[in-house]
Every structure is written in structure tokens, then in C-alpha cells.
Chain A
Amino acid sequence: MESILNIRNVSKIYQSAGRELTVLNNINFSIDTGSTVAITGPSGSGKTTLLGLCAGLDRASSGSVELSGVVLDKLTEDERAAVRNQYVGFIFQNFQLLPTLTALENVMVPLELRGAKNIKSHALELLDKVGLADRGHHYPVQLSGGEQQRVSLARAFSNRPALLFADEPTGNLDAETSEKIIKLLFDLNKDAGTTLVIVTHDPDLAARTNRVIKMKGGLIIADENPNYV
């Protein structure tokens, strides 16, 4: 199967108080198109840093990241932004809805950034899929946490990304709402055929993916298929 993400010998080193701090140490893996992957590990293991590098939000200190056939290493920030807009979707732990935009406008933004036209019906369709068709004109502050995350899901799928990154998507939600959101996430993912990469602490959530990459101290300590565990 074809890989959508290739991580080769990637390291990330920060300078902190005059000392070097290695957050990621020589990481290697690939992710197949259409698969679902969980990156797990304790706090400080480097998983969010890895997510940032995979999604082209940051630049590796060494090594190479290839996303959807585009090598990100030497791209400028604006070129990486274009890659993100074209191929990547995001779901954040704290939803990151733009507070001054309505739910509908939030969903429309990724497509508007592309310069796409007649996107309102597509955005409304997505809001309908997440059960918020009638809340499109509401601002984030008028929505509950679960509703906000559902808008966030609709927004993440709006530009039909090849690769969707979810950073602790249920981290700020109660168990019942979390379950609904996870179900919705996987359903939408199945419909869209998107590759899904989830960073999570939650073993149950990780267990729903095809593959779990476990990290500790900036290293991959396990890379397994949970169905075989």
C-alpha cells in the first residue's frame, strides 16, 4: 500500500537555558494511505512535537518528513501552509474554533482559504452530518464543549484532507460526549477515506485504530497493531 506520510531519521532538539534538549531522537516510520494510527505515550514523551512535525507545523532539526508526496524539509513556512491547506485537517484538544466566527463560518474557513466558491452548502452538509445543522449561526461561546468539538470535526473534514491529525480530541470532554465524538470521527473518516493520526493518552481510543505507535523519552518504543495485542 502507498504511504501518505514518511518520517525518516527525524530528530527535534530545542535549546533551553543554553542546554540542548532532545525531544525526538531519530524517529522513523511511515503511514499507509487510508489507515488509522494512534500515537501514544506519557506526558513529555514527544508525541505532540511529533504531530507538529508530521503536519508541517514545525521543522525538524534533522531528518526528513514527506507528506502526500511533498518533502516538507526545505519548504518555507508559507509553502508548508499551502500543503496543510491542501492535504491536512486538524482536530484540537481545546477545539480551537475561531471565537468571532459562527459555527458555519468556522467550517467554511479551510475552503475559503483555498479560494473555493459555493462552499456554504458543503459546510451546511457537514454541520448536518455532525448534528448541528440548526446551530450554524451560533458563535462558539454559545455552544457546549461537545458541540464545539463537533463543529471542529466538520471543519477538519471540510477541505477533504488526505490526512487528518487529531490531538487528544476527547481530552476536554466527559466520557459520554467523548464516546459520541469518537464515533462521529471514525464514521466521518470512513466515509471520506481519510488517513487518521490521533495523538492520545486514552488506550481505548488508541485500540480503535489500525496501528499504535508508543513513545517514551523521544523514542518510539513500540509500533504495533492493537488488534494483535
Chain B
Amino acid sequence: MSNNPIPKQNVPISWLFKMAWRDSRKNRSRLFLFISSIILGIAALVAVYSFKDNLQNDIDRQAKELTGADLIVESRKAVSKQTQQMLKTMGDDRAAESTFASMVYFVKGGGSRLVQMKALEGNYPFYGSIETTPASAAKSFFSGRDALVDKTLMLQFNAKTGDSINVGDLSFKIAGVLDKAPGQTGISSSVAPIVYIPLKYLDKTGLVKTGSRINYKYYYKFNSSNELTSIIKQLQPKLEKESLDLDTVAERKEQTGRSFGDLNRFLALTGFIALLLGCVGVGSAIHVYIQEKLSAIATLRCMGLKAWDAFLIYLIQVSFIGIIAAIIGSVLGTLIQFLLPIVLKDFLPVEITMQVSWSAIGQGLLLGLVISVLFALPSLLSVRRISPLNAIRATFENSTSKKRDLLKGFVYLLMMAFIVGFTYLQMKTWLQTIAFTAGILIAFLLLMAFSGILMFLVKKLLPASLSYLWRQGFANLYRPNNQTLMLTMSIGLSTAFICTLYFVQGILINRVTLSSGASQPNMVLFDIQNTQKIAVTDLAKSYKLPLMNQVPVITMRIEEINGKKAGADSTNKRAFRNEIRATYQDTLTAAEKIIDGKWIAQVNSPKDVVYISLDQNFARSIKVKLNDKIVFNVQGMLLPTVVGSLREVNWSRMQTNFRVVFPSGVLEQAPQFHVLMTRVPNSETSASFQGAVVRKFPNISVIDLGLVLKLLDELLGKISFVIQFMAGFSMITGWIVLISAVLTSKNQRIKESILLRTMGASRKQILAINAIEYFFLGLFAAAAGLILALSGSWALAKFSFDASFIPPLLPTFLLFSSVILLVVITGVLSSRSILNKPPLQILRNEGN
């Protein structure tokens, strides 16, 4: 017999495409459903990227309007006369502003509130405008003793243009409603509402006193950018020496871009989680799809199709559907981007002009293609190993080769690299990247472990005495090709995400609510001068308010640390730069605990060494140890001290706490103001007491914790709306994955349902089996998610917020039940189609 050569066989690539097209017939809608899991993830990312591009463009375009000037010189203390002289001659146009916190009193309504007071002179802003109603008020308020009042304040106190407000000792007429100040956001206006008054009246208000915390700003316009550059170069060392800050349009642009970079990173990562969730769905659905194709692939292999060619047919299919999903996702994302400015409107300092971002769409398309192929690859690669023997023996043991597939291992590595790489592109730091990836990985592993344990337990503990319907329903959870793992992951992750958001919001609100508990102060009065101390105390007593905490505050700076002055120690600039507010006391408060050294309560003689106590974190930040020598500059007087002790301070307690505490007997005569804390029983007393304080002591500021709580609630509400909007992508993706999983498993259940119906099972009984299965699937998945959320929230509460965490029972239960209900309804509705057809019709269609 002759020895024939091995025949050469090269399938044309066009045939592979043709075969991929043919093979996808009758499966296209299913394939599309699998891949649709990634549509929302892509859409979320394209929306975020487009928004990022548009925001960056708008920041670039409106950068000058953010600052309103070419150059801003800023100081937290009054500048020296010499510097002032220099500041008055710079630039082609200039303006000055003093910003400080102060109470305003609305004369007509009698209400008062702490506001951000801006005393302005000059043509500021040089770019953009102060937006007011009427528009002319922005300029006209300079001419008289007029004020511009933030619109939220006007609404709160039901004030009208023409009404009067008291600021310190002076009364101002409201010339207009302040709609928007340069660079101001909706959030900042509700947290710290602004009132503009002309600078020339500031002194007469009597609010500028010792220890007043005033921020001085000098705005400049330069007609030539070269001049600006040379001035900055020339001024920088000089101004830094006086602790003055320089802010330019470019810096503000960068800074705004950076802070929105954080927001975009967060939004992108939320979208990425939705995408990952979709990928798990795609991976799992394609796995089942390929399993169903086993016989067709084996037949083709019998007829001579090469392993890699078989792989290519399905790779082409997945790639095409992936591209379609990416296109739909990108279109959807481009549409969704128009919603983002509405969702984020309170956080944006610039007006957003939405445009189609082709680079965002490009990224979305690429991402959709890469991710659908990458996550389908492990299943696709197994196509290579399907033995042709499956065509002649359906239950052939080696349906796919059992040998370890190195390529598959490589693909898993690629997937990890993709997740890490993508995260790094968003985060830009390895630490955050690793933390995020590890967090996601741990969540996935925990959910996997959870579903594994549940399947094991159900299998082991399922009592034989249960009725058939229950046993069958339970058995569906662990039998081959079950959906337990995938659904636990997708539903669990979405549940965990939503619940954690809800819990964290609750923790933050609780923390503030708790600090306003019955025994805690809920009102803080500060800037009380020495001469006002007794009168304020008396006023509080006349309102029957308890004096819960009354401490002196002295403003100072560090002059020397261990003999080194600011200029000599370039490594510790921070220590010398900031103003310090210290106190003196003879006993430690309940919030303080000495952890090192010894607390010295009293200095008896001026010759004695002054041993001070530092907050341990502050000591670490200014690189100071026990027994180090610090010289403080207390309003011009140098005061040498030694670090005598380090304290652990519980900053979360509602009381005044200090980084630097002096013993009594040292600072009693130093310029100082006082802080008083009290508790008002209700909002009426609060309003009336605040009004009395403002009328009698206009310089004193009052913080009403009730208002802070309300603001925080409002702020968190706005933030959580943004988060929930993004989490919605994950939730809907989870739901699509659920539908996809149910429909995937439907084909595997047809035979069984028909068998049961042939044997006499009623439609109702089969529905009951399905309902039981989906009920427990939903229950397990939601429980897994809830456990993750509870542990995560508990950890956040304990380690990040230093608060206790008690989950709200009713909302948690409602959330939990809704998830289960959604799973059961989706599951039962999707499998109902099998029951509505006669068994014979389904039998004939089976396998198609």
C-alpha cells in the first residue's frame, strides 16, 4: 500500500465569516441579549468620558471667569503696610476683598444666620460677572450702603430687594439677589451663602477685631500676559516670605480640573463596576452558549474543520455582537451625557456646553470590543478542545480535553491585567489601583465563596421529606449548569453597592444627629471678646440655656522649632505657615487623653518652663517630639515652650478641641476671644436667642447645629443622588444579566419541563418549581450582597468615620425584599413562555 501525503487544508477566511453568520441564525437575539449586559457599562463610561471632555473644554474656555481675575494674592492675616503699598500699584486694574464668617440679621423677619461675608472694592470680577437680580445691582451696590444677598438666604428668610440686613453695627439695604458669584457652585452657595458689602464700610461694621479670621484677597487684571509672568516671578519669593498665596488662572484651571478629575474618576469607576458586572454576565452566558454548540462543533470537526478555525468562527460572532453592543452603548452614553450636567449641576462651577465627544465614543467602541472578546475568550478557547467524538457519542467522557489549557490561564492573566490597567488609567496611582482592584476581587471572591457554600449546604441539607416541588426547586440551585454562581455575583454585587451607599449615608447623618443628642451641645457661639464674655453668659442664662463648654481661643504662629526658624527649616514649611488657634486650661476635657509625657496644668511663676500639650497627629505633622522646644509668636510676643505631653483627641465629640493646649497661668493676658457652647431646646428658642445675640453682639458668630444637620442632609442627598444615578447602571446591568441568565438556562430546562408535563405536572406546578428556585436564588444573592454591604459599612463606620453602625431595619428589609421580588418576577415571567406552548412544539424546536 502506498504512503499518501497528509492532505493540506486551508479554509478561506471568508468561509469562516460566512459560517459565523450562518451559525448565528436563530441565536442572534440571544447573543445580543448576552452582550447587552455590557451596553450600560459602556454607556456609563462613554457618558462620563464625554462629560469629562466637555467639562475640560468648558473649564479651559471659562477659566478666567472662575477666578474673575488674572492674578489673585491671598493672605490669612492683615498684610504689612510695605506690602500693601506694593499691592496697590500692581496690575492694570485691581480690586480688593475681605472675606470672613459673620452673622447677618434680617431686620424685617427677625431671622439671623452665619454667612460668608465678602467686603469688596474695585471692578471685580474683571472677567465674567457677579450674577444678580436685578443685573444692575452687581455694580450699583458699591454706590450706597447696599448689600447683595445670596438667593438661598433670601428664600430662607423670605426677604425682598429693598429690605435691610444688619451686619455688625451697620445696617445695609439689599440692593439685589446674588444668583452666582465667580467660581461659585450650587453646593457652596447652600453650605456657605455669600453676602457682598462694599469694602469701605467694613471697618464701621465693627467686625474686624483681634482674632477675627479674615481672608484678604487682592484681584488684578493684566493686559499683557508677559507682564503677568514677570510679576509673578518677581513677587513669588517676596510674597511667600509674608505667607501670601498667589493664584493664577492657570493654577485655578488646573486645580478645578484636578478636583473634577476626582469626580470623573469616581464616576468612571462606578461605570467600570457596571461594565465588569456585565462582563461576568457575558462570560457566563457565552460559556453556556458554547456548551449548547458542542454537538454542532463536534460535527464540523468530524467533517474536517480545524480546531483554531472552529474557535475563529465563534470569535467572529462574539466580536461582531461586541461591536454592535459597543456602538449601542456609545450612542446611549452620548445621550446620557446630556443628563450628567443636570445630575451634577450643584457641583459645577462652570456652565457646561454638551457636545459629542468622538474620543469618548472611540474609547467606548474599543472598550466594548476588547471587553466582550476578552471575557468570552475562556469559553471560546474551549471550542478548540471540543473532540469530534462528541458527534458520535453524546455522553462522551472527554467532551473537551481535560488537559490544562495554558492559553486559558494566559487569558485570565490578561483579564486581570486589563482590570488593573484600566483602573490605573483612571486612578493614576498604583496604591489606589491596587486597593480598588483588590476590593473588587475580594468582593467577587466572597460572593463566589458565598454561592459555593450555599450550593454545598443546600445539597447536603436538603431534607428528603420535602415535597417534590420544593426539592426540585432547591435542586435547581446546585444541579449542573445552574445559574447560582453568576446570579449571586451579579445580583449580590448590585445589592451590595446600593445597600452600602444607603448605609454610609445613614452613618454620616447619624453621626451628626447623635452629636446633637439630648446631652450634647447644639449651638456654638464664637468670636466672643473678653469684654463680652460675661454679658453673653448672662444672655444665655436669661434664655435658661446651659453653658456646656466655654473656652478661650488665642491665635498664634510657630516662630521656631528647636532653634530653627521658618527659613532655616525648608523640610517643615507647614509648621510655620499656618495660624494656630490654641487654648489654655487647667484640666483635660473628656475628649482628651495623655498618651505620652505628663500633663502640666498650671504655671506658677513667669520663670517656669511652659510645658504645652500637643495633639499627637499635629505633633507628627510638624515633626515634633516630646521635650522639643517650640517658640510661639503670640500676636507679636515670643513665647518659648517645651512639648510636655502628647494627647489623643476625640475630634468627633461635639466640643471645642485644640491642637495646642497651654497650661493656665501663661496666656490669660494675651489677646483672645472665647467660644461658648450651649444647647437650645427647640428651633423657636434657637431663632430668638440667635436674634438677641446678633442684635447685642454683632461680631459674635453663631453656628446652629440644627441648620448644619439640615445642610448636611441636603448635601448628602445631592451626593447620594449622583451616586445612585451611577449605581443605577450596575443595578440595571445586574437585572439584564439576570434575564440573560434565565433565558440561557431556559434551553437547559425545556426538556425537564416537558418531561414533567408529559408525566402530568400542571402548569402551576412547574411555575411553582421555577418560583421556588428564583425565590431562593434571589434570597441568597440579596443576602450575600447585604452581608457584604453590612460588613463594608461596619468597617467604614468603625475605621473611617469613627462611628457606630446600626443598620436601619425597615429600609434594609424593604430593599432586600424588593431584590428578591424582582428576581422572582423576572425568573417566572421569562420561563413562562415554555409553559404556554404545547410540549411537542418545544420538542421539535429544541436544539435550535
**Are B393 and A48 interface neighbours, CB within 8 A?**
yes
A 91-119 binary contact with B (CB < 8 Å = 1; else 0): 01110111111000100011011110000
Task: Provide the bound-state CA to CA distance between A96 and B295, in Å.
Answer: 7
- Least distance between B138 CB and chain A CB atoms (Å): 71
Task: Provide the bound-state CA to CA distance between A74 and B537, in Å.
Answer: 101
A 35-75 binary contact with B (CB < 8 Å = 1; else 0): 00000000000001001100101100000001011110001
**Are A69 and B2 interface neighbours, CB within 8 A?**
yes
- Least distance between A195 CB and chain B CB atoms (Å): 14
Task: Provide the bound-state CA to CA distance between A47 and B24, in Å.
Answer: 35
**Are B22 and A100 interface neighbours, CB within 8 A?**
yes
**Are B6 and A100 interface neighbours, CB within 8 A?**
no
Q: Chain B residues near A105 (CB, 8 Å)?
A: 22
Majority SS at the chain A contact face? mixed
**Are A100 and B397 interface neighbours, CB within 8 A?**
no
Q: Chain A residues near B11 (CB, 8 Å)?
A: 112-113, 115
Number of chain A residues close to chain B: CB under 8 A: 50
User: Is the C-beta of A202 less than 8 angstroms from some C-beta in chain B?
Assistant: no
Task: Provide the bound-state CA to CA distance between A92 and B298, in Å.
Answer: 12
Contact check: which of A70, A113, A114 meets B4 at CB < 8 Å?
A70
**Are B393 and A115 interface neighbours, CB within 8 A?**
no
User: Is the C-beta of B468 less than 8 angstroms from some C-beta in chain A?
Assistant: no
User: Is the C-beta of A13 less than 8 angstroms from some C-beta in chain B?
Assistant: no
Task: Provide the bound-state CA to CA distance between A99 and B300, in Å.
Answer: 12
**Are A70 and B303 interface neighbours, CB within 8 A?**
no
**Are A82 and B304 interface neighbours, CB within 8 A?**
yes
User: Is the C-beta of A85 less than 8 angstroms from some C-beta in chain B?
Assistant: yes
User: Is the C-beta of A22 less than 8 angstroms from some C-beta in chain B?
Assistant: no
- Least distance between A62 CB and chain B CB atoms (Å): 18
**Are A92 and B392 interface neighbours, CB within 8 A?**
yes
Task: Provide the bound-state CA to CA distance between A58 and B306, in Å.
Answer: 14
Q: Chain A residues near B9 (CB, 8 Å)?
A: 81-82, 85-86, 113-115
Task: Provide the bound-state CA to CA distance between A55 and B249, in Å.
Answer: 78
**Are B300 and A83 interface neighbours, CB within 8 A?**
no
Closest B residue to A167 using CB positions? B392
User: Is the C-beta of B256 less than 8 angstroms from some C-beta in chain A?
Assistant: no
**Interface of chain B residues 305 through 326 with chain A (CB within 8 A):** 305-308
User: Is the C-beta of A3 less than 8 angstroms from some C-beta in chain B?
Assistant: yes
Closest A residue to B3 using CB positions? A69
User: Is the C-beta of A77 less than 8 angstroms from some C-beta in chain B?
Assistant: yes
Contact check: which of A85, A90, A113, A114 meets B391 at CB < 8 Å?
A90
Q: Chain A residues near B393 (CB, 8 Å)?
A: 48, 52
Number of chain B residues close to chain A: CB under 8 A: 46
Q: Chain A residues near B392 (CB, 8 Å)?
A: 48, 51-52, 57, 90, 92-93, 167
User: Is the C-beta of B620 less than 8 angstroms from some C-beta in chain A?
Assistant: no
**Are B300 and A109 interface neighbours, CB within 8 A?**
yes
**Are B303 and A141 interface neighbours, CB within 8 A?**
no
User: Is the C-beta of A78 less than 8 angstroms from some C-beta in chain B?
Assistant: yes
**Are A141 and B391 interface neighbours, CB within 8 A?**
no
- Least distance between B840 CB and chain A CB atoms (Å): 13
**Are A58 and B6 interface neighbours, CB within 8 A?**
no
Task: Provide the bound-state CA to CA distance between A100 and B297, in Å.
Answer: 12
**Are B4 and A109 interface neighbours, CB within 8 A?**
no
**Are B847 and A84 interface neighbours, CB within 8 A?**
no
User: Is the C-beta of A14 less than 8 angstroms from some C-beta in chain B?
Assistant: yes
- Least distance between A227 CB and chain B CB atoms (Å): 26
User: Is the C-beta of A134 less than 8 angstroms from some C-beta in chain B?
Assistant: no
Q: Chain B residues near A79 (CB, 8 Å)?
A: 6
Contact check: which of A69, A78, A109, A141 meets B844 at CB < 8 Å?
A141
**Are A110 and B303 interface neighbours, CB within 8 A?**
yes
User: Is the C-beta of B511 less than 8 angstroms from some C-beta in chain A?
Assistant: no
Q: Chain B residues near A3 (CB, 8 Å)?
A: 1
**Are B306 and A112 interface neighbours, CB within 8 A?**
no
User: Is the C-beta of A176 less than 8 angstroms from some C-beta in chain B?
Assistant: no
Closest B residue to A86 using CB positions? B7
Task: Provide the bound-state CA to CA distance between A88 and B389, in Å.
Answer: 14
Task: Provide the bound-state CA to CA distance between A105 and B23, in Å.
Answer: 11
**Are B6 and A83 interface neighbours, CB within 8 A?**
yes
**Are A57 and B302 interface neighbours, CB within 8 A?**
yes
**Are B304 and A85 interface neighbours, CB within 8 A?**
yes
Contact check: which of A48, A57, A78 meets B308 at CB < 8 Å?
A78
Q: Chain B residues near A16 (CB, 8 Å)?
A: 397
Q: Chain A residues near B133 (CB, 8 Å)?
A: none
Task: Provide the bound-state CA to CA distance between A69 and B301, in Å.
Answer: 21
- Least distance between B699 CB and chain A CB atoms (Å): 84
User: Is the C-beta of A2 less than 8 angstroms from some C-beta in chain B?
Assistant: yes
Q: Chain B residues near A94 (CB, 8 Å)?
A: 394
**Interface of chain B residues 371 through 420 with chain A (CB within 8 A):** 387-389, 391-394, 397
User: Is the C-beta of A6 less than 8 angstroms from some C-beta in chain B?
Assistant: yes
**Are B12 and A115 interface neighbours, CB within 8 A?**
yes
- Least distance between A107 CB and chain B CB atoms (Å): 11
**Are A100 and B391 interface neighbours, CB within 8 A?**
no
Task: Provide the bound-state CA to CA distance between A83 and B10, in Å.
Answer: 12
User: Is the C-beta of B848 less than 8 angstroms from some C-beta in chain A?
Assistant: yes
- Least distance between B301 CB and chain A CB atoms (Å): 6
Task: Provide the bound-state CA to CA distance between A132 and B326, in Å.
Answer: 43
Q: Chain B residues near A14 (CB, 8 Å)?
A: 397
Q: Chain B residues near A113 (CB, 8 Å)?
A: 9, 11, 15, 300, 303-305
Task: Provide the bound-state CA to CA distance between A101 and B794, in Å.
Answer: 57
Question: Contacts A109-B300, A112-B15, A167-B392: A82 and B8 contacting too (C-beta < 8 A)?
Answer: yes
Contact check: which of A58, A86, A98, A114 meets B387 at CB < 8 Å?
A58
Question: Contacts A100-B26, A100-B848, A109-B303: A83 and B391 contacting too (C-beta < 8 A)?
Answer: no
Task: Provide the bound-state CA to CA distance between A67 and B394, in Å.
Answer: 25
Q: Chain B residues near A82 (CB, 8 Å)?
A: 6-9, 304, 306
Question: Contacts A3-B1, A141-B845: A96 and B391 contacting too (C-beta < 8 A)?
Answer: yes
Task: Provide the bound-state CA to CA distance between A90 and B308, in Å.
Answer: 22
Q: Chain B residues near A6 (CB, 8 Å)?
A: 1
**Are B24 and A84 interface neighbours, CB within 8 A?**
no
User: Is the C-beta of B761 less than 8 angstroms from some C-beta in chain A?
Assistant: no
Q: Chain B residues near A112 (CB, 8 Å)?
A: 11, 15, 18-19
Closest B residue to A68 using CB positions? B4
Question: Contacts A69-B3, A100-B848: A77 and B307 contacting too (C-beta < 8 A)?
Answer: yes
Question: Contacts A81-B301, A81-B306: A57 and B6 contacting too (C-beta < 8 A)?
Answer: no
- Least distance between B305 CB and chain A CB atoms (Å): 6
**Interface of chain B residues 589 through 638 with chain A (CB within 8 A):** none
Task: Provide the bound-state CA to CA distance between A100 and B30, in Å.
Answer: 14
Task: Provide the bound-state CA to CA distance between A70 and B389, in Å.
Answer: 20
Contact check: which of B308, B391, B848 meets A92 at CB < 8 Å?
B391
**Are A141 and B848 interface neighbours, CB within 8 A?**
yes
Contact check: which of B295, B304, B307 meets A86 at CB < 8 Å?
B304
Contact check: which of A58, A71, A115 meets B10 at CB < 8 Å?
A115
- Least distance between B496 CB and chain A CB atoms (Å): 39
B 681-720 binary contact with A (CB < 8 Å = 1; else 0): 0000000000000000000000000000000000000000
- Least distance between B388 CB and chain A CB atoms (Å): 5
Contact check: which of A69, A78, A84, A100 meets B303 at CB < 8 Å?
A84
- Least distance between A72 CB and chain B CB atoms (Å): 10
Contact check: which of A58, A68, A87 meets B389 at CB < 8 Å?
A58
Q: List 30 interface pairs A-B (beta carbons < 8 Å), by A numbering.
A: A6-B1, A52-B389, A52-B393, A57-B391, A75-B6, A78-B308, A81-B301, A81-B306, A82-B304, A84-B302, A84-B303, A85-B7, A85-B9, A85-B303, A86-B7, A90-B303, A90-B391, A96-B298, A99-B847, A100-B23, A100-B25, A101-B22, A101-B23, A109-B303, A112-B15, A113-B15, A113-B304, A115-B12, A139-B848, A159-B303
Q: Which 5 A-B pairs have the closest CB atoms?
A: A85-B304, A69-B4, A82-B9, A86-B7, A96-B299
- Which residues of B does A touch, CB under 8 Å? 1-12, 15, 18-19, 22-27, 295-296, 298-308, 387-389, 391-394, 397, 844-845, 847-848
For the complex with contacts A85-B305, A94-B394, A100-B26, 19 further pairs of A-B residues with Cβ separation under 8 Å are A16-B397, A51-B392, A69-B1, A69-B3, A70-B3, A70-B6, A78-B307, A79-B6, A81-B9, A81-B304, A85-B7, A87-B7, A90-B303, A96-B391, A100-B23, A112-B15, A113-B304, A115-B10, A141-B848
